[in-house]
Structure 1
Amino acid sequence: MKLISIKRRTKSERRYTQKMGVLYTNVTYIKKYAFGVPFRTLHKYRGTYYGKIKGCEDCVLTS
């Protein structure tokens, strides 16, 4: 059993941008796991319709 591992997981989220309004997109999280429990998110990003990769800092989460 590995003590520390890194996993990538994609899930669909609802985001809000000033230009486009509400946006449903796939967001990929890269997390570090210790003993199978996640303890740190290393990076999160989303792919655009045109294939570009963007960080999630430019979008605001909505509730």
Structure 2
Amino acid sequence: MKIISIKRKTKKERRYTKKMGMFLARVTYIKTYVLGIPVRTLHKYRETYYGEVKDCDQCTLSA
């Protein structure tokens, strides 16, 4: 078993932007794990409808 590992996980989330309003986006999280426990998120990004990869700081989560 590795002590430190990095994993990538994709899940669908509801996002909100001023231009598009509410939409469902596939968000990919890259996390660091120590002994199987997630420690911190290194990066998260999403893919647009046109195939571009954008950082998740450009849109906000809705409640």
Band the TM-score falls in, shorter-chain normalisation: over 0.9
- TM-score if structure 2 supplies the norm length? 0.98
One-letter amino acid of the counterpart of residue 39, structure 2: F
Give the structure 1 partner of residue 15 of structure 2: 15
* Aligned AA (1:37): I
Identity %: 63
| Pairing 1:1-63 to 2, within 5 Å after superposition | 1-63=1-63
Superposition TM-score, scaled by structure 1 size: 0.98
- Structure 2, unaligned stretches of length 5 or more? none
Runs of 4 or more, structure 1, over 3 Å off, are none
**Alignment size in residue pairs:** 63
